[in-house]
Chain A
Amino acid sequence: EAEVAQSPRYKITEKSQAVAFWCDPISGHATLYWYRQILGQGPELLVQFQDESVVDDSQLPKDRFSAERLKGVDSTLKIQPAELGDSAMYLCASSYSGEQFFGPGTRLTVL
């Protein structure tokens, strides 16, 4: 069964450092999403891609967060510099016809 892949699974960093997360969507899924999930809450959308184009990044803190999907397949989410409040689970999802399938997530801890 095809799955969304994410790496790393866990990341511990110190504040002011740079971090990057990688996502490989299910093959053939043109739409890719990055969500952030704070412990005890539901996921919140950070950015949505259709192929290589950004469809929605209205909730992405652009002063420190960036996302790219250069060839319309895999994607990278970067935070620079990381802040204490960025500690959360970062989830990637992909879809073909509406249903969104999530990866296992990257648990980020900022010290």
Chain B
Amino acid sequence: GENVEQHPSTLSVQEGDSAVIKCTYSDSASNYFPWYKQELGKGPQLIIDIRSNVGEKKDQRIAVTLNKTAKHFSLHITETQPEDSAVYFCAASILFYQGGKLIFGQGTELSVKP
């Protein structure tokens, strides 16, 4: 079945630096790749997503890139702030009109030091 590998498991950066989290997926039929931010005791919050017909997407300080050939995608956060500290999850899905189950990576705990 589909498998998603996420690296690194922990990431510590100084405020203002950039952070990059990388994921690889196994099922070449996957066509939808969301990223979630999860704060302690809360549910995952969708922060950005990308579909397989697009190579890059940007929303203010957050960007996601997708390499379908290599089957990997990455999250880039620029100008990090302490409030960016959380656990980030990547996910992959085969999206039909009915939706599709998300296969999540193992998570990256991001710590932004003031």
Contacts and interface: CB of A to CB of B under 8 A. Distances in A.
Interface in B78-109: 89, 91, 95, 98-102, 104-107
A85 interface: no
A99 B107 contact: no
A48 B101 contact: yes
A48 B96 CA distance: 13
Given A91-B44, A100-B46, A105-B43, A41 B106 contact: yes
B46 A42 contact: no
Contacts, number: 58
Interface string A15-54: 0000000000000000101010000111111001010000
B107 A50 contact: no
Q: What bracket does the count of chain A residues touching chain B fall in?
A: 20 to 34
Chain A binding surface, main DSSP class: strand
Interface of B: 4, 32, 34, 36, 41-46, 49, 89, 91, 95, 98-102, 104-107
